[in-house]
Structure 1
Amino acid sequence: MSGFDPHGACVVVTGAGNGIGAALATALAARGAHVVVADLDAESAARTVDVIETAGGTAVVAPGDAASEDGVAALIGTAREAFGPVQAWFANAGVDRGRGLDATEAEWALSLDVNVMAHVRAARALLPEWLDAGGGRFVVTASAAGLLTMLEAPAYSVTKHGAVAFAEWLSATYRHRGVVVQALCPQGVQTRMLTESGPLEEILSRDTALTAEQVAADVLSALDGDEFLILPHADVADYYRARANDTDRWLSGMNRLQQKLDAGKAAGGE
């Protein structure tokens, strides 16, 4: 079991302007990490840095696109200039776009780019140096949707499955060379994404919606080891096992939830 001590380490957190990313960045800084706060929203990223610095931590803002090849290269360059080589990458940025089969080509393309290809591009850029150095840590925020599914949201569900699959591949390929990969898969979390999920909010909150700070605390605890799945909601592990043990029964249960959503829409006149 190989732990990661954030103290003194250069770490990057993408999507760190709000929600889980901001809570992660703040928690890592409290443990002594030098944090690169990355987000498309420069103002939100700057607010996270302000919170960290006010608490006595060390952070630098890195606004920009962490999904593109150029954006990843620029982000790593900012980190290196500020704090030296990146030792841990928290691939937290994600998007939820489109509903049902009405999700557009553009929404699917953006979801694939941010929720999957961003991780691929970061790994391509980071792995050569990590392999030379003997290791690194790559933590993907993948969501319980990456292990199960999210009704009404095919682009989100498919791409979060892709995020888990890529993390699994990365771990299987490089764990013997010191690269530790972990997949964070929370269910309902009290963030803007949850409040904007409409009728799905009740379903996503059925096992209690955690705060972003609670999820960040679970991630920090998980850094002490190298277990692949980080599951802040313990029930997700039970659902995952049930899905594998009897897929048709699980799908029938999910379909019953879909029927409940459909009935709610009909009652609401949608």
Structure 2
Amino acid sequence: MDLIDKVVVVTGGGSGIGAAMAVTATEAGARHVVVADRDGDAAASVADAIGGTATTIDVRDEEAIVELVRSTESAHGGIDLFCSNAGFVTQAGVEESDEVLQAMWDVHVMSHIHAARAVLPSMIDRGEGYLLNTASAAGLLTQIGSLGYTITKHAAVALAEWLSITHHHQGIRVSVLCPQAVRTNITANSPDVRVSNAAADDPLGVPLADGVVEADAVARLCVEAIAAERFWVLPHPEVADYVKQKSDDIDRWLAGMRRYQARLYGDRPLPGDRLVSGS
């Protein structure tokens, strides 16, 4: 799909990858871009810069997603591309609270399901539509130090795979974005990150050896992937090699990840070290 004369919705569009995607979609010829974010002022700033519209939304709220789709279709016609993009990260293992794990599930998985439920019917009626779901390389590999991020991003990738298989014959195309380190404000948006337990130069456990990619470069790659109808969007192409290594020899890959974890944390306690027998 090319984006010329298309209607695009971007959630988490007030900053980072979402904001870059809104700008890049406009530059690619989109007829209208709706920028949605829980930070309404940030969404409005991006929308004003590109001549789009803004809305304040919590992606965990299914009714709000339904209203976003309804109002967009009413004002601008059918949505051609829905970019479901929001996330946060914590540093914790199985000791993480159910409340935080549920919040991560709602943001990283249920938000994509809410979006698909709301937008697929009209896309299927028209015989075409595109879903771009933001996951993470953690969804293909794992996230050192963060149980919640790892399992919910794995689920996000699995969901995208299922949507791609199930709705392809109806004209629906799906891409899943799986970056490593991207220069965004995810740390600021993750108030319960326990950075004291991770390496000072890599507080989120994101592999930095492959470089930090700028958000606008990620957005351009997304547009290229959408044009080619390519499922994986990998801003760090090395991730494809890591996935192959993982599938070729899982035990060797796990051993390598343990070594990486040891280098990352050094003498700092690991999340699992906080577990005490009998507590």
TM-score, normalised via structure 2 length? 0.88
Shift of 1:203: 4.8
1:208–1:194 CA distance, 2 compared to 1 (3 A):
farther
Instruction: Decide which moves more: 227-236 or 100-109.
Output: 100-109
CA distance in 1, matches of 2:88, 2:65: 17
1:233 counterpart = 2:236: yes
Q: What residue is the counterpart of 2:172 in the other structure?
A: 179
Q: What residue is the counterpart of 2:54 in the other structure?
A: 61
CA distance in 1, matches of 2:95, 2:41: 32
CA distance in 2, matches of 1:108, 1:148: 19
Shift of 1:264: 4.4
Match of 1:244 among 234, 244, 247: 247
Shift of 1:194: 5.7
Gaps of 5+ in 2: 275-279
CA distance in 2, matches of 1:251, 1:175: 34
1:90 counterpart = 2:83: yes
Q: Counting helix residues as a fraction of each chain, which structure ranks higher?
A: 1
Match of 1:220 among 223, 240, 243: 223
Shift of 1:102: 3.3
Q: Is the 1:90–1:138 contact (alpha carbons within 8 Å) kept by the matching residues of 2?
A: yes
CA distance in 1, matches of 2:91, 2:265: 17
Gaps of 5+ in 1: 54-58
1:97–1:74 CA distance, 2 compared to 1 (3 A):
farther
Specify the code of the residue in structure 1 equivalent to 2:254: L
Instruction: Decide which moves more: 138-147 or 61-70.
Output: 61-70
Specify the code of the residue in structure 2 equivalent to 1:70: E
Q: Provide Cα deviations, 1:145-200, integer angstroms capped at 9, x if missing partner.
A: 11001111110110000000000001111112210011111111011226877433
TM-score, normalised via structure 1 length? 0.91
CA distance in 2, matches of 1:162, 1:131: 24
Specify the code of the residue in structure 2 equivalent to 1:247: I
Write the mapping of 1:9-20 to structure 2, written as runs, cut at 5 A.
Answer: 9-20=6-17
Secondary structure of the structure 1 residue equivalent to 2:143: coil
Shift of 1:247: 0.6
Q: How many residues align?
A: 259
Write the mapping of 1:204-215 to structure 2, written as runs, cut at 5 A.
Answer: 204-215=207-218
Q: Is the 1:98–1:153 contact (alpha carbons within 8 Å) kept by the matching residues of 2?
A: yes
CA distance in 2, matches of 1:203, 1:250: 17
Specify the code of the residue in structure 1 equivalent to 2:169: H
1:140 counterpart = 2:137: no
User: CA RMSD for the aligned pairs?
Assistant: 1.8
Specify the code of the residue in structure 2 equivalent to 1:15: G
Q: Is the 1:60–1:82 contact (alpha carbons within 8 Å) kept by the matching residues of 2?
A: no
CA distance in 2, matches of 1:28, 1:248: 41
